Amino acid sequence: MRYSTLFGKTNKTAPHDAESVNARLLVQAGFVNQLMAGVYTYLPLGLRVLNKIQNIIRKEMNGLGASEIYMPALHPKDLYDTTGRWDQIDVLFKLTGSGEKEYALGSTHEEVVTPLVQQYVRSYKDLPLAVFQIQDKFRNEARAKSGLLRGREFSMKDLYSFHLTEEDFQQFYEKSKQSYLNVFQTCGLDAMIVEASGGVFSKFSHEFQVATEHGEDLVYHCKCGFAQNREIAEVKAGDTCPSCGKGTIKETKTIEVGNIFPLKTKFTGAFDFKVQGPDNALVDILMGCYGIGPSRVMGTIVEIHNDERGMLWPKAVAPFDVHLVTIGSKDDSVNEQIESSAESLIEELKQQGTEVLWDDRETRPGEKFADADLIGIPLRLVISEKTLAEGSFEWKPRQETESRLVKLEDVIEEVKVWCTTPDRLTSQE
Ligand code: ATP
Ligand code: MG
């Protein structure tokens, strides 16, 4: 992709109203554009990242045996009358349509998915079953000031599972924890599993929390893996860990990137969703729900992986694999050589599935380098009159300060190795 034709460019000045690092860098680098507080357009670079995050999640959900569906965002009020949540969900956007009919914009989908699954489950043989979707959710958040971290419209992957027995539910719930950890690790996020309030139906739900000083949540945790959210915490900083009996409890600010919830019969009960068991008696159906916010994950990655020059995308979610910078010469014939080397490099890399953003503008090299650092693609290659004279490209990973020369004939192979080498940003320390 040629940068000159890319829709959405970098801005020199930071948006004056951006109160968080992710909003400032993503807007400045041309990844997103703010429509109003908590509502963003994804420009091509941002959309590529969002799609990659969603696909990483999709792969893990398929691995759990869940089927992807896509439910409506516009919900009739009567479903919420059935569950009693019309006035309970404080962030629900409510609308009135023709004939004074009332609707909600989906903030979550239990009210839609439960009666949906009910229509297709005829006997106990149809269970267990899990469905998921990746879709925009709407929440009338009071404070939507943290860029992609807290949107009023935001992307969510929501998975719902249905089970006949508690053991079967528990098994699936534990498996989902590992899938979630895989997602966050691939995205370059080191997530803690944190016990959080489960409401009236079970003792705990589990949150996936990423430590950062810009987080809104507060977690009490121990090195042994014990962790509780402030809102339920039975411990405080400095206490001896109640789980291992040795470690000291620490307090850390975090961002919640995922949440899994045992729902027991809260929704299946409300919709009177039961099935006939093997002995013909009616059996209650146990349900779980499992959420991840891909857009919040994107914002969190930026909060964690940035420096004074811009963003540093982990390889798996970077908008492109390689940022190619060409530096023009005063000599037309040299320019032609530079262009043709760039074009053949891009073509050969494409053959092996490597995606390249080519800064082909006639701009000062300093500006191109500053933009490359701001955009944060993991690997920068430069071709100029100087490197050409050495039969080489200049090679510089975004995380490193030193560049080196790589021979023209070796660069394809080296990029291939680079793309498959584990990412320093995603390896757990
Ligand atoms: P929070 O406590 O941050 O308000 P929540 O507990 O209400 O979030 P869930 O309903 O469990 O969140 O939603 C599942 C996931 O969706 C969250 O873990 C988070 O990643 C994401 N999410 C929730 N609210 C927002 C939002 N306003 N903007 C962006 N992502 C969100
Ligand atoms: Mg929460």
CB of 155 closer than 8 Å to CB of 295: yes
CA-wise closest residue to 337 among 388, 380, 387: 388
CA of 246 to the centre of ligand 1 (A): 33
CB of 293 within 6 A of ligand 1: the answer is yes
| pLDDT tens profile 29-84 | 999 999 999 999 999 999 999 999 999 999 999 999 999 999 999 999 999 999 99
CB of 296 within 6 A of ligand 1: the answer is yes
Q: Which residues surround ligand 2, an ion (CB under 5 A)?
A: 256
CA of 82 to the centre of ligand 1 (A): 24
CB of 262 within 6 A of ligand 1: the answer is no
The reported pLDDT for the residue numbered 265 is 96
Q: Which one of the ligands is nearest to 150 CA?
A: 1
| pLDDT tens profile 229-248 | 999 999 999 999 999 999 99
Question: In which residue ranges of the chain is CATH 3.30.930.10 found?
Answer: 3-304
Residue nearest to atom 3 of ligand 1 (CA): 256
> Looking at residues 72-98, what average pLDDT do you find?
97
> Looking at residues 98-108, what average pLDDT do you find?
97
Q: Whole-angstrom Cα distance, residue 48 to residue 57?
A: 14
The reported pLDDT for the residue numbered 200 is 64
The reported pLDDT for the residue numbered 26 is 97
> Looking at residues 338-344, what average pLDDT do you find?
96
Question: In which residue ranges of the chain is CATH 3.40.50.800 found?
Answer: 313-420
The reported pLDDT for the residue numbered 424 is 79
Q: Give me the residue label for tokens 């090299």.
A: 365
The pTM of the full predicted model, rounded to 2 decimals, is 0.97
CB of 291 within 6 A of ligand 1: the answer is yes
CB of 185 within 6 A of ligand 1: the answer is no
| pLDDT tens profile 132-188 | 999 999 999 998 889 999 999 999 999 999 999 999 999 999 999 999 999 999 999
The phi and psi torsions of 348 (rounded to 5 degrees) equal -65, -40
The reported pLDDT for the residue numbered 143 is 87
> Looking at residues 316-337, what average pLDDT do you find?
96
> Looking at residues 346-353, what average pLDDT do you find?
96
> Looking at residues 193-217, what average pLDDT do you find?
90
> Looking at residues 386-399, what average pLDDT do you find?
97
- Which atom number of ligand 1 is nearest to the Cα of residue 257? 20
Q: Which two tokens stand for residue 233?
A: 């915490």
The reported pLDDT for the residue numbered 14 is 77
> Looking at residues 11-23, what average pLDDT do you find?
83
Buried b (16+ CB within 10 A) or exposed e, 234-244: ebeeeeebeee
CB of 108 within 6 A of ligand 1: the answer is yes
| pLDDT tens profile 18-42 | 789 999 999 999 999 999 999 999 9
pLDDT at residue 342 is higher than 80: yes
Q: Which one of the ligands is nearest to 299 CA?
A: 1
The reported pLDDT for the residue numbered 427 is 63
Long-range contacts: 74-78, Cβ < 8 Å, 24+?
Answer: 74/103, 74/104, 74/105, 74/106, 75/103, 75/104, 75/105, 75/106, 75/111, 75/112, 76/101, 76/102, 76/103, 77/101, 77/102, 77/103, 77/104
Pick the CATH number of 313-420 from 2.40.40.20, 3.90.1150.10, 3.40.50.1110, 3.40.50.800: 3.40.50.800
What is the band of 412 on the pLDDT scale with cuts at 50, 70, 90? very high
Residue nearest to atom 8 of ligand 1 (CA): 256
The reported pLDDT for the residue numbered 423 is 86
Which residue among 40, 132, 218, 256 has the greatest number of ligand 1 atoms within 8 angstroms of its CB, and so is best to mutate? 256
Class of domain 3-304: alpha beta
pLDDT at residue 429 is higher than 50: no
